[in-house]
Structure 1
Amino acid sequence: MSDKLKIGISIGDVNGIGLEVIIKTLAEVKILDYCTPIVYGHTKVASFHRKALNLNDFSFNVINDASEANPKRSNMINCWEEDVKIELGQSTETGGKYAFLSLERAVNDLVAGHIDALVTAPINKHNIQSENFKFAGHTEYLQERAGAADSLMFLTSEDLKVGVVTGHIPVGQISQKITIESIVSKLKLMNDSLKKDFWIRKPKIAVLGLNPHAGDDGLIGNEEQTTIIPAINEAKALGILAMGPYAADGFFANKSYLKFDAVLAMYHDQGLIPFKQISFENGVNFTAGLNFVRTSPDHGTAYDIAGKNEASEVSFRDALFAAIHIVKHRRESADLASNTLVYAKLSRDRD
Structure 2
Amino acid sequence: MPSPDPTPPPPASPPPTTNNRSHHHHHPPSTLLLIYPATLLLGCIFSILSPTAKPIPLPLPPTPPLAPSIATDLNTPTPLPPTIPINYFARKDNIFNLYFVKIGWFWTTLTLLCLLLSQPAYTRAPIHRARRTLQAGIRWAIATSVWYIITQWFFGPPIMDRGFVMTGGGCERVVPLVEGAIRNEGAGDEVDFKTVVTAVACKSVGGAWRGGHDVSGHVFLLVVMVSVVVFEVVGAGRRDFRGGIGEGKKGGEDEDEKGDRDEVGEGEGEMDGVRDWSGRLAWMVAGLGWWMLLMTAIWFHTWFEKVTGLLIALGTVYTIYILPRRVPEWRNVVGLPGV
Give the alignment's TM-score, normalised by structure 2.
0.24
Structure showing the higher helix proportion among its residues = 2
Bigger relative CO (Cα 8 Å, ≥ 6 apart) = 2
Larger Rg belongs to: 2
In the superposition, the TM-score normalised over structure 1's length comes to 0.24
| Structure with more of its chain in strand, by fraction | 1
